Chains A and B, each alone.
Chain A
């Protein structure tokens, strides 16, 4: 009986070890989106300074589109931007840009300098629509299906590899539905 009890610490160690080991692969700062599989919250964004029109949530229905949160002050957006340009050039998907907490004029200056990959750009200076979307940082991208439901959220810059491995197949599937 005594000898059997001696194995308890080893078992405890194994259980805790497996638990911690699996934890190593998880990102503790990742916040799951509440919006996934829910309809996009209703919003209507005005045009950014220097542009003629913004867009509303209603316009995102009808086909599979991306809604991309960006800002000129966001460093990672600089990294993401060239790939968004490529997507636009390939006509891969419509991308709507939510210009987040930007000083008037900065958004246009950024798009003039680096190119504009967006179908339409809306201004969210107060950041209120971003809060409705549960945005935690920029860049952040939502995949919206034909019915205007959010199907996926990417909380990091989209790279070519991520697009090929994850987003392109998902979007292909959503387009077939």
Chain B
């Protein structure tokens, strides 16, 4: 049964949140909005984590900032814009669709189209003609070889 321990630990991975109890807002609706925003913002210290997951001090400062803005009455979009104004688009875990990201967003569709076109032309290729029937000489040769093997 020991092997179950790592499996069970893995189950908790998805639920990881670095927020400390004293950071949480009393208002559950606001707190839920804050957590959704936290998940979209990159921690600029440990960059593959969101600020919801990171326990870097700077991530904590940003979580507090998000909550402060929400309490002050900002909409979710305004809070995110506030952070982007300071840290740039880089702070968004999901890059926005805009001029310099068109290739990023468009490439999967392009690759799919190119693949589909390739597959289409490959499948449409005429099947090779069936081989011509054996001539009498070849027939005789085949029979001779088969006889030889006994």
Contact = CB atoms under 8 A, between A and B. Distances in A.
A136 B86 contact: no
B90 to A, nearest CB: 5
A136 B45 CA distance: 6
A127 B87 contact: no
A31 interface: yes
Contact of A131 (B47, B65, B88): B65
Given A127-B61, A131-B62, A34 B44 contact: no
A127 B86 contact: no
B57 interface: yes
Contact of A31 (B61, B65, B85, B90): B90
A22 interface: no
A17 interface: no
B61 A126 contact: yes
B58 interface: yes
Contacts, number: 41
B61 A136 contact: no
B88 A31 contact: yes
B57 A32 contact: no
B34 to A, nearest CB: 16
Interface residues of B, number: 14
Contacts of B86: 34, 131-134
Nearest to B85: A34
B11 to A, nearest CB: 30
Given A29-B47, A31-B44, A34-B85, A128 B61 contact: yes
A101 interface: yes
Nearest to A32: B88
Q: Which of the listed residues A126, A130, A134 has the most CB atoms from chain B within 10 Å of its own CB?
A: A134
A137 interface: yes
A31 B47 CA distance: 10
Nearest to B89: A34
B47 to A, nearest CB: 6
Interface string A129-143: 011111111000000
Interface string B48-64: 00000000011001100
Interface string A90-133: 00000000000100000000000000000000000011101111
A29 B62 CA distance: 19
Given A131-B62, A131-B65, A34 B88 contact: yes
B87 A34 contact: yes
Interface in A8-56: 29, 31-34
10 contacts: A31-B88, A34-B86, A34-B88, A126-B61, A128-B61, A131-B86, A134-B86, A135-B58, A136-B44, A136-B45
